[in-house]
Structure 1
């Protein structure tokens, strides 16, 4: 029989808290917390050993503390264990027990000996409690069977007034018969938000950040420090999703960098914690599968809906390149985890096409709301600051296999659907006891899946917490260890999860509705107002590459992809500020290629009705460019541009110039100023920069007329010279005659 607990001598300070931020049962836990807070009485379950029972006679010890924070002494308290003699029927019943906090769902069993009286509890004091039980006692009079048994710890006063209740589970798993050992793949994200904007530092050893939040998260209880702690102890089968933009930022921080300030930028020395974090992460993930997300985690659905056809493929490619360069050589890009785990057919097509011949996606990791089981409804919820959805299990329903096949324009794509309940158990809890309660819920849920009827082959289960989670390393590490130890689970890599081969298994376990993407999901995306200027910047950024002779990838690819990050969904104001910075940088680079002599005060002269006018282009970039110079007349009736065999210039970098001689013809008898428009174009014909207006001044004289006038002027000049010479000669003769006359006299 259940034995009466004895009062222990240990005093502990504990706080009742929910299992997780969005864990099923959170509402219940919050209810208990609220009750305890109002009444100043805190009930905590601190230990359940063993984690699950293997034999009918195994002694299960449940212990915890009761703390009086009312400020006054309390008397007549009773702590007792309530239990149920039948295991829960399915996951729906388990969910109901955890979330429905009415008396109807409380376990009915409460033996007179399964109680502990506390005659008095002084203000601020704690009273430890402990109960023991066995599976055989739980299932009396029948023999216990594999399953999950609900229990509750209840605190009453004066024999009737309930002050607090905490619910949890005891799992009984006898060694025979052995349940089907399902495959469990766990995906954990290492995703942050952009902290840099531009990859064009002022100095070779300088990088500019928009904030310095990363520095604080690397040490102590910072988010990245916690993620590293988890990575160091995680089983090697856990799959990590790595945003290479985070690696990029931390690499830049390992050197001197600059943080933009309200007034002036602030110089920062190299952060040794950044280099240490990177080194530790490389060591921690040396044997674990790593998947690189598209660079900067772009909002793929939004890009698909607003015509960013090439950016997704480039993001997949760049994410893989950076992760390979900064983390380790073996990094996959074939699995995509979209924002909030949601996408539609348009986004799926972009991912599947990717960058043809370079990088494509063959699997997508989705929420169960995006690909629900047939006949189940999706209901909205909020998960760690991100709006997403969860699918509730219907009574009698079995857990579907995690895989399904989707069809894109590039062919079939495998969908990996995360289990919503198990995934949210990995979300951080709020206080003492939450790790224990999450562990017991995890054991119960996975045992319930293993006990579902009709199983003949192992199913695949996928766990994936929210992508920008702020994890509790103690909780996550405990769940990972538990998952690795449970006999009805087999941890496996995410890339090894494949759809069932047998037809019966496919029918029974992978029957899901199609992609479900609601209007509310669409509203969560980056909108047209935000993305329109980003698209303009992306177009100009591409031109900075196309204008060069070698045409390497644009130096602004990473900057543009950061602007499309899904992190800006809830931070559009910050995203717009970043957009302006990138726009300024792209414009400044485009302005390094200029048409010289475009000042209206410096007209170019066309002598006569036809001639050649030079148009010069200066290249201040450090690389060679290939540019086509397109010249058109603003008034072809007055000034016509003569077609020429080529208009292309190849100009060296660092301030070199190239000149195109443009033949023009003016209408007869016309003189004065005319205008032409010069447009630079890339070698594939795309306009580069804004068109430039040049003033052409015509004299109205033809070439022959100029020759005649010149000849006439020459004749006139010769006549004048002859006349002057004759006068000089005549004067000399007159002077000589006068001299002879004087001598004769």
Structure 2
């Protein structure tokens, strides 16, 4: 009964559906209306009953289409793959290859067709699969056809539809792909194509000394993301047209992990030995990238627009400077630092000004950010690949925009290279599903062929001469892609052999004197703003940045910013949409900054401080300790001493009040601060604060309690009086001794005549 009901449904559909015109001259031109309607069902993207009921759909995988580009009408084209049964036992299945003799007229039609919309090919070739296919079994299949059999006779891209049908002619599963044909006698202008391959990760360290986890080495293993990126580089050391874009922060992390390093675990911070995987990965990458051009992102690939919109204007310059230095150190060669790829290829004029001010003269943008001024959809009506009319008035297809554009910044013109959306998607396609690599490969061939075909079309009003100006296109996969090395290498090889492509590197592209394609200005929407690192998160980064800037303000080393790399890691574009993952990094950097600030302190600052003036004035010693070690350990600080009651206790000029004092790492310095009390006895509080050269407070202030006794003046009076009394006594004693000596002398002389009694003393008679 079920079989009869299904047959009745098919017959009813056949009688109620209208006839479909089949192109003449194609293989099996006697296609019936019912069979054409089967193609119509496929075109509508009808899903098998199993899928509609929530069961897993069977798979139809296209594993190979060779050659990439047949050049002769009799060239054999092999299309092969397998059907994977995921449901009940199936009998009497057949696979059908549908095709059309009409090529696509424009690139937009490719995406429409591959999405299951628009007109579909009707001519077909059939073959039966295995008589019985058990659940979980795979049935291989292969078609061998020629362009002549498919009715293909001119340069273009043609639709191919593969579908599996059951015994009632119902579609079980379908797969769409593309076939490109180029006759030997046709010459197509070569399009310059530049492929930019990113090697960008997320930050793995918070401060320079601490890894938040130890997953980096695992991702460098063979078959993991960074391991696969390395393999692509190793497999294409001599390939043409490849430009690498590397984040030096990743190289820096690898260098740090290749030595003894510290990892923060859930409960503690532990030492780890040098990672051989990290060291090997870095050495191999260095060797693989010895020849091709390497563009360095700003260190840690910071979210430049978010930083600019939050007032952190120097981040771009700092990141680019650090990238050039660390990239050269890690790779042993110079890197390109004047090309920038904003996050998602999107930037506004504020971000552009920040980049231009940092020395960037070329930006790599997404088509949405800098769209063509022309409206593509308005110039050419939709075209069906199955259209049979050949006398229609020809229209000029909307062509692919040239990659070059020009932008104006506050620092002058900036070159924009606009990435081709479709080619970028194909280059970064997820090919993990069976057959996905072959389908994406065919689309790459087809998309680039369509670009070449656009240049071969005569311009409107011309005498038919082909266009000769070479067009430039750029393909860039997603920032943190996980590619299949074999698939990417296959595309690179195809680009080098396709007769309409000329692979070039980004650094060899020469900017045209005038833009080839008129474009509108930068388009940066509110949605793009919301995608940036959010204000709450950026506020936390700015707080840490402000604290870290203090450490730079006291170091004597020129151009040394200890925490600059850490702060750039906090602002990495990797944290977009996942700032909660960055929270441990913020906390760790904040703790490291506070720890460094705490190593420069006023001695005894952790205990109550008392000083005594033995009188109305005196010098109070204050000691500054520098416990820093390593690079940047020498500091220059000033001491700011303030009396809480200046009318009672005055601070006189002292060393380091107006100029900094220099203290080497591991040393201390004592400053004697003169103070004068205006009242005898009592105590007053004094605040002692370390400040940077530009008078910013460094560390916590220290309170000193200064006591004045008044004893010094009283002691001086007492000592003075005692000295006077003692001096008088001494004088009296001397006089008495002199008198006594004279008397004794006169008594000892017998010949001396006696003095008259009336004669005054001391006179002669």
Q: Shorter-chain TM-score category? A: 0.7 to 0.9
Aligned to 1:313: 317
For residues 81-107 of structure 1, the C-alpha deviation after alignment (integer angstroms, 9 at most, x for no partner) is 1111111010111111111x25x5321
The structure-2 alpha-carbon separation of the partners of 1:632 and 1:178, relative to structure 1 and needing over 3 Å to count, comes to same
Aligned to 1:88: 104
Matched position secondary structure for 1:603: strand
For residues 226-252 of structure 1, the C-alpha deviation after alignment (integer angstroms, 9 at most, x for no partner) is 111111122153111111111111122
For residues 41-85 of structure 1, the C-alpha deviation after alignment (integer angstroms, 9 at most, x for no partner) is 32122221111121233232222222333232x223232111111
The structure-2 alpha-carbon separation of the partners of 1:377 and 1:344, relative to structure 1 and needing over 3 Å to count, comes to farther
2-structure distance, mates of 1:199, 1:39: 49
The structure-2 alpha-carbon separation of the partners of 1:717 and 1:282, relative to structure 1 and needing over 3 Å to count, comes to same
Aligned to 2:259: 255
For residues 467-487 of structure 1, the C-alpha deviation after alignment (integer angstroms, 9 at most, x for no partner) is 111111122111111111111
Contact residue 219 and residue 273 of structure 1 kept, 8 A: yes
1:585 lines up with 2:592 in the alignment: yes
For residues 328-359 of structure 1, the C-alpha deviation after alignment (integer angstroms, 9 at most, x for no partner) is 222111111122221111111111112xxxxx
The structure-2 alpha-carbon separation of the partners of 1:375 and 1:32, relative to structure 1 and needing over 3 Å to count, comes to farther
The structure-2 alpha-carbon separation of the partners of 1:663 and 1:267, relative to structure 1 and needing over 3 Å to count, comes to closer
The structure-2 alpha-carbon separation of the partners of 1:211 and 1:601, relative to structure 1 and needing over 3 Å to count, comes to closer
Give the deviation of 1:555 after TM superposition: 2.0
Moved more, 86-95 or 556-565: 556-565
- Superposed, 1:556-635 pairs within 5 Å as 556-598=563-605, 601-622=608-629, 623-635=633-645
Aligned residue among 532, 545, 561 for 2:552: 545
Give the deviation of 1:167 after TM superposition: 0.7
Give the deviation of 1:3 after TM superposition: 7.6
Aligned to 2:228: 226
1:217 lines up with 2:233 in the alignment: no
1:339 lines up with 2:367 in the alignment: no
- Superposed, 1:278-293 pairs within 5 Å as 278-293=282-297
TM-score w.r.t. length of structure 1 = 0.82
Contact residue 649 and residue 659 of structure 1 kept, 8 A: no
* Structure 1: gaps (5+ residues): 5-26, 201-207, 355-359, 379-393, 721-745
Contact residue 78 and residue 159 of structure 1 kept, 8 A: no
Give the deviation of 1:641 after TM superposition: 2.5
2-structure distance, mates of 1:36, 1:109: 31
Contact residue 193 and residue 504 of structure 2 kept, 8 A: yes
Moved more, 680-689 or 228-237: 680-689
For residues 273-330 of structure 1, the C-alpha deviation after alignment (integer angstroms, 9 at most, x for no partner) is 2222112112211111111111111111111111112222111111111111111222
The structure-2 alpha-carbon separation of the partners of 1:486 and 1:158, relative to structure 1 and needing over 3 Å to count, comes to same
Aligned to 1:52: 69
Aligned residue among 264, 271, 277 for 2:275: 271
2-structure distance, mates of 1:510, 1:274: 45
Contact residue 639 and residue 656 of structure 2 kept, 8 A: no
Aligned to 2:507: 495
2-structure distance, mates of 1:314, 1:516: 26
1:240 lines up with 2:252 in the alignment: no
Aligned to 1:459: 471
Contact residue 293 and residue 336 of structure 1 kept, 8 A: yes
The Cα RMSD (Å) is 3.0
The structure-2 alpha-carbon separation of the partners of 1:397 and 1:699, relative to structure 1 and needing over 3 Å to count, comes to farther
Contact residue 156 and residue 181 of structure 2 kept, 8 A: yes
Aligned to 1:105: 119
1:62 lines up with 2:62 in the alignment: no
Give the deviation of 1:190 after TM superposition: 0.5
1:664 lines up with 2:680 in the alignment: no
2-structure distance, mates of 1:91, 1:305: 37
Matched position secondary structure for 2:589: helix
The structure-2 alpha-carbon separation of the partners of 1:209 and 1:33, relative to structure 1 and needing over 3 Å to count, comes to farther
Moved more, 318-327 or 687-696: 687-696
For residues 355-384 of structure 1, the C-alpha deviation after alignment (integer angstroms, 9 at most, x for no partner) is xxxxx2111111111111225599xxxxxx
Give the deviation of 1:118 after TM superposition: 4.2
The structure-2 alpha-carbon separation of the partners of 1:39 and 1:293, relative to structure 1 and needing over 3 Å to count, comes to closer
For residues 369-402 of structure 1, the C-alpha deviation after alignment (integer angstroms, 9 at most, x for no partner) is 1111225599xxxxxxxxxxxxxxx994321111
Aligned to 2:744: none
Moved more, 516-525 or 681-690: 681-690
Give the deviation of 1:633 after TM superposition: 2.2
> How many residues get paired?
656
Give the deviation of 1:457 after TM superposition: 0.5
Contact residue 68 and residue 121 of structure 1 kept, 8 A: no
Aligned to 2:415: 414
2-structure distance, mates of 1:590, 1:570: 32
2-structure distance, mates of 1:118, 1:496: 51
- Superposed, 1:113-128 pairs within 5 Å as 114-118=125-129, 120-124=131-135, 125-128=137-140
Aligned residue among 177, 183, 192 for 1:174: 183
Moved more, 241-250 or 594-603: 594-603
The structure-2 alpha-carbon separation of the partners of 1:574 and 1:396, relative to structure 1 and needing over 3 Å to count, comes to same
2-structure distance, mates of 1:644, 1:588: 29
1:699 lines up with 2:709 in the alignment: yes
1-structure distance, mates of 2:549, 2:147: 68
Matched position secondary structure for 2:92: strand
Give the deviation of 1:679 after TM superposition: 2.4
- Superposed, 1:638-653 pairs within 5 Å as 638-643=648-653, 647=657, 648-653=659-664
Contact residue 36 and residue 163 of structure 1 kept, 8 A: no
For residues 146-173 of structure 1, the C-alpha deviation after alignment (integer angstroms, 9 at most, x for no partner) is 1111110122223431111111111112
2-structure distance, mates of 1:39, 1:530: 42
1-structure distance, mates of 2:697, 2:609: 25
Aligned to 1:428: 430
1-structure distance, mates of 2:623, 2:45: 75
2-structure distance, mates of 1:597, 1:42: 75
Contact residue 195 and residue 476 of structure 2 kept, 8 A: yes
1-structure distance, mates of 2:645, 2:281: 65
The structure-2 alpha-carbon separation of the partners of 1:617 and 1:376, relative to structure 1 and needing over 3 Å to count, comes to farther
Aligned to 2:32: none
Aligned to 1:11: none
